[in-house]
Amino acid sequence: MPLVNFPPTLLPPHLIELRNEVREFVHQELSDKTFQVTIDGWLSGYSPEFSKKLGRKGWLGMTLPKEVGGQGRSPLDRFVVIEELLAAGAPVSAHWVADRQTAPLLAILGSDAQKEKYLPGVIRGETYFAIGLSEPNAGSDLAALTTKAVKVDGGWLLNGRKIWSSGAHFCHAMVVLCRTSPLDTQNRHAGMSQLIIDLDQPGIDIRPIHLISGEHHFNEVSFEDVFVADDMVVGKIDQGWQQAMGELAYERSGPERFLSTLPLFTEMVRLVHQRPNPIALQAIGRLSARLLSLHQLSLRVTGALSRGESADTEAVLVKDVGTRFEKEIAETARLIFNAEDFDTDASTLNPYQDSAYSDFYQQATLQAPGFTLRGGTNEILRGIVARGLGLR
C-alpha cells in the first residue's frame, strides 16, 4: 500500500455546470461593483451582505445533512464553489470558519440544541464562528494551553486567554479548546474539551492586534469567570483534543491553501499578455504548472474525503506546497515588473494605469508571512508528513 495516495478524481459533469454558475454570479457581482477584489479574501474580505447572498444561493452548509437544514451535497460540490470564489478574490471571511469547520463539527458532534441554535444561521450566512486554539504560550505546542474551565453547578467557569483569533471582533461565537481536567504530564493531550462561547457575554474582552498596515484581523480574547452552560460543551468532556484534530482535517485540506494570492497572479498574466517579456513568460509558465498541479492534488484530497477515505498526510502535504506557492506569487510579482511602471504620480509614464496589480502586490506582501504559519506552521506539517511516512 502506498504511503501517500492521491487517487485521480474526476469532476462529474453537473459540477462543471455548478462552476459556470458560480463564475457567472461572481462576474455579475463584480459588474455591479458589490465587492472589491481582495487578496486573501478568506481572511481579509469581510462582507456580511455577500455572505448572505451565498446563503441564499445555497452555497453555504452545502455538505451538511438535510436533517439539519443542509443540502447533503458532496465535498466536491463545495470544492468547486469555494475554488471559484477564492480565485475571484471574493469577500468570504465573515462566514469562512463557520462554513468550513464549525458547522461540520456541530453536525457530527453537536447536541440537537446546538444544531438548532447555530446551524440555520451558518447556512443563511448570518452566524460566524472564530477558532479558539492558540494562546500566548501555546501555538505549535498546542497541548501547552492553560485556558481552563472548572465545573460549577449547571456548567463551567472559563478563565484564560486566546490569541491570533481571526475575526473574533465580528464573530458571534468561538469554539474554545480548554483544559477541563488537570494536566497529566504523561498524556498532555488528555483532559481538554471544546466549549462554544457566545462572544457577547460579560467577562469576555476582545482586543485588536493590528497588522503593520493598521488593518485589523487578529484579536487577543480573554475570559474571566465566563459561565458556560453544560449544553455548550461540544461532544464529550475531556475528548477535545481528538475532536479539534478532526476539525483540522477540514481546515488544512482546502483550496484556500493555494489560492490566497490568485487575483494577483491573474492580473500578472493579463499584464504580461499586454507587454510580453521572456523572464515574465518563464515565471508565468512555472507558476501555472504548479497551480494546475495543486488544483489536481487538492481535488484528489477532497475526492478521498468525499469517499470517506483518510487523507491526513496528503492534506498536510498540499498545505505545505500550496502555502509556499501562494507566497511565491507575491515574490515573483516583485521581480517581473518595475515599481516605477505603477507610479501613480507619474501617470503619463505609467503603462498600467488601470491595473490593480500594485495594490494586489502590496496586499499579498503584507499577508504572505502568515500563509505558512496559520493552521499549523510548515515545519510542524513536515513533522506530521514524516510521521505519516513512518519516518518518526
Ligand X SMILES: Cc1cc2nc3c(=O)[nH]c(=O)nc-3n(C[C@H](O)[C@H](O)[C@H](O)COP(=O)(O)OP(=O)(O)OC[C@H]3O[C@@H](n4cnc5c(N)ncnc54)[C@H](O)[C@@H]3O)c2cc1C
Binding site for ligand X (CB under 6 A): 43, 130-134, 139-140, 164-166, 370, 373-374, 376-377, 379-380
- State in angstroms the smallest separation of the CB of 30 from ligand X: 26
Question: In 3-state terms, what secondary structure has residue 288?
Answer: helix
Whole-number Å distance between alpha carbons of 383 and 187: 19
- State in angstroms the smallest separation of the CB of 219 from ligand X: 9
Nearer to ligand X, 20 or 137 (CB): 137
Question: In 3-state terms, what secondary structure has residue 92?
Answer: coil
The three cell numbers of residue 189 are 493531550
Nearer to ligand X, 26 or 221 (CB): 221
The three cell numbers of residue 234 are 461540544
Nearer to ligand X, 134 or 253 (CB): 134
Nearer to ligand X, 92 or 304 (CB): 92
Whole-number Å distance between alpha carbons of 344 and 337: 15
- State in angstroms the smallest separation of the CB of 132 from ligand X: 6
Nearer to ligand X, 130 or 299 (CB): 130
Which residue has the closest beta carbon to ligand X? Answer: 139
CB 225 within 8 A of CB 159: yes
Whole-number Å distance between alpha carbons of 374 and 371: 6
135 carries an active-site annotation: no
CB 100 within 8 A of CB 62: no
Nearer to ligand X, 52 or 161 (CB): 161
Determine if residue 33 is left, alpha or beta; phi over 0 gives left, psi from -120 to 50 gives alpha, anything else beta.
Answer: left
Whole-number Å distance between alpha carbons of 332 and 126: 37
- State in angstroms the smallest separation of the CB of 69 from ligand X: 25
Q: Is the dihedral of CA 208, 247, 145, 378 positive or negative?
A: negative
Residues 83, 135, 247, 251: which is the catalytic one?
251
- State in angstroms the smallest separation of the CB of 380 from ligand X: 6
Whole-number Å distance between alpha carbons of 202 and 218: 21
- State in angstroms the smallest separation of the CB of 131 from ligand X: 4
Letter for the amino acid at 367?
A: Q
Whole-number Å distance between alpha carbons of 374 and 386: 20
Q: Is the dihedral of CA 277, 283, 286, 288 positive or negative?
A: negative
CB 389 within 8 A of CB 2: no
Catalytic annotation, residues: 251
